[in-house]
């Protein structure tokens, strides 16, 4: 700030910085606001946001062995895209595991390749369940 006749005025550089920051914050907020309420993904055609793409990678690294490619199910475990539970149930099931009759899924709370990425995996499966994303490897949306 500079002093001018006993009053403080703002430097033009400070004003420019505030304007740039405000515009950038608006863009960031608008990209988050584009997600529909309750949706964890952004999908345009076969392109997805970074979170959903990471979910695809994590799912196929740890979950598809039982739940099948693209969440379609297998002889070992049910399809996840047919009846995807709400996020809280999904988190609990993945962390703690599930026992249903003779069928048992171990918990992944201690798995560093799964536990920190449960919401990413959910985003991928939610996009698949909603029909917003087809089968196979998606592409990444440009930022």
Domain containing residue 93: CATH number: 1.10.760.10
Residue 22 domain-assigned (yes or no): no
Residue 29 domain-assigned (yes or no): no
Query: pTM for this one?
Result: 0.73
36-40, 58-62, 134-138: range with lowest mean pLDDT:
36-40
Residue 82 domain-assigned (yes or no): yes
**Local structure of residue 36 (DSSP, 8 states):** P
Residues 96, 90: Cα–Cα separation, whole Å: 10
Model pLDDT for residues 106-128, shown as the tens digit of each residue: 999 999 999 999 999 999 999 99
Residue 24 domain-assigned (yes or no): no
Instruction: Give the count of beta carbons closer than 10 Å to the beta carbon of residue 38.
Output: 8
pLDDT at 107: 97
Residues 59, 51: Cα–Cα separation, whole Å: 12
Residue 27 domain-assigned (yes or no): no
Residue 3 domain-assigned (yes or no): no
Residue 37 domain-assigned (yes or no): no
Model pLDDT for residues 76-116, shown as the tens digit of each residue: 899 999 999 999 999 999 999 999 888 899 999 999 999 99
CA 116 from chain centre, in angstroms, equals 12
For residue 120, CA distances in Å to 7, 17, 117, 129, 138 come to 52, 34, 5, 14, 14
pLDDT greater than 50 at residue 47: yes
Q: How many residues make up the chain in this entry?
A: 143
Residue 64 belongs to domain spanning: 43-134
Strands 7-9, 2-4: pairing is: antiparallel
Residue 76 domain-assigned (yes or no): yes
Structural domain count, the chain: 1
Strand partners, 100: 103
Residues 78, 129: Cα–Cα separation, whole Å: 13
């Amino acid at each position: 700030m500079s002093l001018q006749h006993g009053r403080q005025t703002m430097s033009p550089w400070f004003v420019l910085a505030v304007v740039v920051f405000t515009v950038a914050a608006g863009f960031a907020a608008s990209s988050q606001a584009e997600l529909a309420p309750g949706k964890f993904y952004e999908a345009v055609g076969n392109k997805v946001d970074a979170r959903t793409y990471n979910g695809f990678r994590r799912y196929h690294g740890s979950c598809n062995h039982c739940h099948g490619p693209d969440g379609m199910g297998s002889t070992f475990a049910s399809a996840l895209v047919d009846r995807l539970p709400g996020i809280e149930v999904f988190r609990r099931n993945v962390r703690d595991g599930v026992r249903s009759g003779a069928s048992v899924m171990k918990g992944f709370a201690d798995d560093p390749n799964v536990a920190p990425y449960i919401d990413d995996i959910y985003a991928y499966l939610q996009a698949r369940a909603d029909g917003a994303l087809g089968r196979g490897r998606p592409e990444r949306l440009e930022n």
